[in-house]
Amino acid sequence: MQSLLSLCAVQVTRHQTLACRALASLPRELYPALFQAAFMYGRTLVLQALVQTWPYPCLSFRQLLPKPKQLGWPERPRKESVQAVILALLAAPRSRESSSRRPQLRVLDMTGFLDASCGQDPTTMSMWARSVAVARTCLSAQTQARAAQRLAKRRKLEPQAPVTNPVEVHTDLLVNRTSYSVLKEALQTSTCGPLRLRCRDLWAEELSGPSTVALLELLDPVCLRQVDLRFNNLGLSGLCTVVPHMAKFTHLLSLKLQYSNVDVRRLTAEAENSFQHFVSAIGQLRCLKELNMGSSRLSGRLHQLLSSLQGPLESLELPFCALLPGDLSYLAQSPHATHLKKLDLSGNKLSGDFLGPFQRLLREASASLLCLDVTECQLMDVHLVSTLPALRCCTHLRYLGLYGNPLASAGMKTLIEHSQTFRELQLVVYPVPVDCYKDLPWPPSSANLLEGTVDEEKLASVQAELQQLIRATQHQDVLWTMDIYGHSSFDYFSL
């Protein structure tokens, strides 16, 4: 619930003109509460005044804004609030001389705010739009600074000294071919301007290898924490060009290379050489803790890739990687297994000859594993029941993804009955039970499960039985759902 201070701040910021006039006489200790209220309720005039007179060195969205779905607050802030904060940066330099309260702002930290999926909501500001807005603001600030210098020169005034108190803008950037030029220019010009753009997490979509390298060369080597290159179709040769440029990032913890068009199953001599160069480049990332190679065909080569790393991974995402039993056996015996917090094996077969190595991997990872995703892994009831002893060892499990597996209602009931072992469990995504389909071929493919006709009456009856079992476990705070998209994902950095 909102505190009394928060409730008062909401009321004060409703009267925006009066609130702006009163800021100079208010204690600095009230600024965080006023910012939180103004931001969440879209009080843009108050927001701009707060930023322009901010009495602290740092203004951090993550520290000031309420957590998602926190009681008493709107579910999501409006995009007007984000725009107001960004635009206030242009007016901030002027306010340094005119305001009775001298601003102390040196760092505006917008990282970790919203996510790319929020772009589907027209009332919010997508990551792409926010990236472009921040970039344009940095360019405008530099243009203003240069115009002021030219004016001073024409009037034969004392030349202005270089910017002595720039504001660093820390943000996460989403870049694609449409926004590439403006973001590249902003990064180039902000090195000496009044606003210094600093990227923490970089998402780059559909960019060529040379364009990606050009961006990486402009990023601060200390600030970058994550690089996510998706749908870039780089291939092994492209990755060999891009990844070596990441070695300079001393705090790079996460690297995601999904949909990079990598297939190591039948390599030519030249492609084999590229693979070895790629493995060597990955091994130069000294702090790496998360790796995503989604949709890369890594059959039989996982040991070469992971053994090059300088330390154990804590998050490993290998969806649709055509893994072999030997890959799972290596992973179970590797130093990574006992450190894994997040493991995604979606789209890889885990039945038959794969089941034993998979179960051994679960046992090795049991002490640390928090999130397990085995969507579309051809797991039937017999496989799930056989895996339960190993799965029950994972007592800290928070998320279990089972969607797209040919499980029957009997298998789900068995899982629910044993779920009390998972005291920290928060979310289970399970499939439509196979006994709720009409005329389902056996064994069913993933396409059959996605496109098959469901007996809605039977499904409703089964769901009622499952919910009754869930209530009987006295663990009703766990969400059991068949909706694979209607919930927030478990990000490595939030674990």
CATH code (residue 460): 3.80.10.10
> Is 41 among the domain residues?
yes
Residue 487, pLDDT score: 78
pTM higher than 0.75: yes
In the block, tokens 């053994």 appear at 307
In a domain, 407, yes or no: yes
**Can you tell me the distance from the alpha carbon of 61 to that of 79, in angstroms, rounded to the nearest whole number?**
14
Q: What is the pLDDT of residue 202?
A: 97
Residue 167 falls inside a structural domain: no
Q: Are 262 and 235 a contacting pair, CB within 8 Å?
A: yes
Q: Which one, of 65, 64, 73, lies nearest residue 1 by Cα?
A: 73
In a domain, 145, yes or no: no
For 404, which DSSP code? Answer: T
Q: What span, in angstroms and rounded, lies between the C-alpha atoms of 337 and 341?
A: 9
Letter for the amino acid at 8?
Answer: C
pLDDT confidence of residue 1: 59
Residue 467 belongs to a domain? yes
For 445, which DSSP code? P
**Number of separate domains in the chain:** 2
Q: What is the pLDDT of residue 142?
A: 87
Is 351 domain-assigned? yes
Q: Which two tokens stand for residue 277?
A: 């160069």
Q: What is the crossing angle of helices 180-189 and 127-154, to 10°? A: 40
Confirm whether 490 is domain-assigned. no
Q: Which residues contact 4 (CB under 8 A, 6 or more apart)?
A: none
Alpha-carbon distances, residue 377 vs 85, 314, 358 (angstroms): 46, 22, 11
Is residue 98 in some structural domain?
Answer: no
- CA distance linking residue 108 with residue 198, whole number of Å: 10
With 0-12 / 13-18 / 19 or more C-beta atoms within 10 angstroms meaning exposed / middle / buried, residue 141 is buried
Per-residue pLDDT at 126: 85
Residue ranges in the chain whose pLDDT is less than 50: 93-98, 116-119
Which pLDDT score is estimated for 98?
A: 43
Domain containing 319 equals 315-484
